[in-house]
Structure 1
Amino acid sequence: MPAIEPELQALKDNLLDMLSLVRNQMIKCKEAIRDNDTSLAEEVIEDERRVNIQELAIDRDCENILALFTPVATDLRLVLATLKITNDLERIGDNAKSLAKFLVNNNDEIERQWLKAYHLEDMLDIVVEMLKDMGEALRTEDTKLAKKTTKKDEQLNEFNKKAFKTAAELIKQYPDHSKNLLTLFLVARNLERAGDLTKNIAEELVFHIEAKVVKHKKDQK
């Protein structure tokens, strides 16, 4: 067995662990909304520190592999893709933390109907499913599964478009709560952004497995 193989397997395992942690942050956000449980939101905030530590550790592992083994072909693509994926996962974790902090700090002022109007639970469901697919695609090197994220990201885009109209309507009804309603609008935008970041991860997986660059394909047509 080449000396680099255990290192690459450990790298992939650590990346899967980070992906799972970020996915669990999104699951906890949904459960916090569903059950009105701020303790779960507080867990999401605490988990962000673990996400940051994992990102730094994986980045160091990538640097060591590049320095010690000089990988080529698919091995090199895995390392390069991992460096980008960890950054995307950290940003998705930041989005989860922002939502969790809002839930903790404004629990007494948030109306349940507002959360439903913005379809936040629906958006969280989609992000969770996308991240689950990314984990499976990475584990099995299934690029078809990775590419399916595009359709799910389009669903998030639709919810995000509706969020602007929702914000305008709710602010008219509840002008004294404009700040919270606008913040919820930003939360919806962040969840849409989390979908974009997950789609970026899918593109990096395709790059690693198939040696194909799929970014900006639409822009080239």
Structure 2
Amino acid sequence: MTHLQSELKLLKTDIIEMWELVIEQLDKSLISLKTFDKDLTREVVSNEKRVNAYELKIDRDCENIFALFNPVAVDLRMVLATLKINSNLERIGDIAEGISKLITSEKEPFDQVLLECTRFQLMFEAAILIVNDALTAFDKEDTKLARTIFKKDELLDEINADAHQFITIYIKDHLDKTEQALNVLSIIRRLERVGDQGKNIAEEIIFYLEAKVLKHK
């Protein structure tokens, strides 16, 4: 194994560790919402510092590989893709932190009627699945799985598009829960962005493995 190959292997290990941490952040956010466990939300907020630390390290490592090894072909695409995926994962980490802060601000558990009418839990689970599938696609170098993410994101877009109408109807019948309903709408908007970040990652995986730039098509 060459020095470059060793560095690329370490880079892949680091990005996967960051990925797993971000998924854990989303998982804990969902659990805390269902159980109203504010200690868990505070843990998510605290762990965001670890996500940021990973981002900075991976950024530096990518820059060093460019400077020291001048990678070409698939190696170059791997580093470029990792650099962009790193940024997308950091944004997903920010979203998990933002969701947790909204949960912490609540004075009482979320109304199940509100969660059911907005298909909130389905959306949350679908968002986590997208990030999980993206990780598997990257680790296993599976572009077929990466392409399924575009279809999965359509569910998030659909739920997000319907949310405003459902929330408006809900508030009319539950004026005392207006703030909570608006927080749910805010979380739904954030989850839709998780799907967007997942699509970006899928495009980078396809670029890395197939040398195809989907954004330009």
Smaller-chain TM-score range?
over 0.9
Q: Is 1:204 aligned to residue 214 of structure 2? A: no
Paired residues, number: 217
Partners of 2:137 and 2:179 in 1: CA distance: 40
Question: Structure 1 regions of 5+ residues with no counterpart?
Answer: none
Q: Which residue of 1 aligns with 2:138?
A: 138
Determine whether 1:169 maps to 2:172: no
Alignment of 1:95-114 (within 5 A): 95-108=95-108, 110-114=110-114
Alignment partner of 1:64 is 2:47: no
Q: Contact (CA 8 Å) 2:36, 2:109: kept in 1 or not?
A: no
What is the rounded CA distance, in whole Å, between the counterparts of 2:125 and 2:83 in structure 1? 26
Residue aligning to 2:115: 115
Q: Does residue 1:84 correspond to 2:88, yes or no?
A: no
* Shift in CA distance, 30/147, structure 1 to aligned 2, threshold 3 Å: same
How many Å apart are 1:109 and its aligned residue? 6.6
User: What's the CA shift for 1:200?
Assistant: 0.4
Aligned to 1:3: 3
1:112-133 superposed Cα distances (whole Å, 9 cap, x missing partner) = 3323333222111111111111
**Equivalents in 2 of 1:101, 1:28: separation in Å?**
12
Q: Does 1:36 align with 2:69?
A: no
Q: Any idea what the Cα deviations from partners look like across 1:52-76, whole Å, max 9, x if unmatched?
A: 1100010000000001000111111
- Aligned pair in 2 of structure 1 residues 163, 129: CA closer, same or farther (>3 Å)? same
Contact 1:29 1:96 in 2 (8 A): yes
Q: 2 CA distance for matches of 1:116 and 1:144?
A: 32
Any stretches of 5+ residues in structure 2 without a counterpart? none
1:176 offset after TM fit, Å? 4.0
Give the 4+ runs in structure 1 shifted more than 3 A. Answer: none
Deviation of the 1:177 alpha carbon: 3.5
Contact 1:27–1:124 (CA under 8 A) maintained in structure 2: no
Mean alpha-carbon deviation: is it higher for 172-181 or for 26-35? 172-181
Measure, in 2, the Cα distance between the counterparts of 1:44 and 1:117: 27
Superposed displacement of residue 16, structure 1: 0.6
Tell me, yes or no, if structure 1 residue 188 matches structure 2 residue 188. yes
What amino acid sits opposite 2:95 in the alignment?
N
Q: Secondary structure at the match of 1:148?
A: helix
The whole-number CA distance in structure 1 between the counterparts of 2:109 and 2:4 is 54
8 Å Cα contact 2:33-2:110 kept in structure 1: no
> Could you tell me which amino acid in structure 1 is paired with residue 165 of structure 2?
K
Q: Is the 8 A contact 1:33 1:121 kept in 2?
A: no
User: Percent of aligned positions with the same letter in both sequences?
Assistant: 43
Please give the alpha-carbon distance, in whole angstroms, between the structure 2 residues aligned to 1:120 and 1:109.
14
Once the two structures are overlaid, the 10-residue window that deviates more, 39-48 or 112-121, is 112-121
Match for 1:114: what amino acid? L
- The two structures have a TM-score, normalised by structure 2, of 0.95
**d(CA) in 2 for partners of 1:4, 1:143:** 24
Q: Is the 8 A contact 1:38 1:107 kept in 2?
A: no
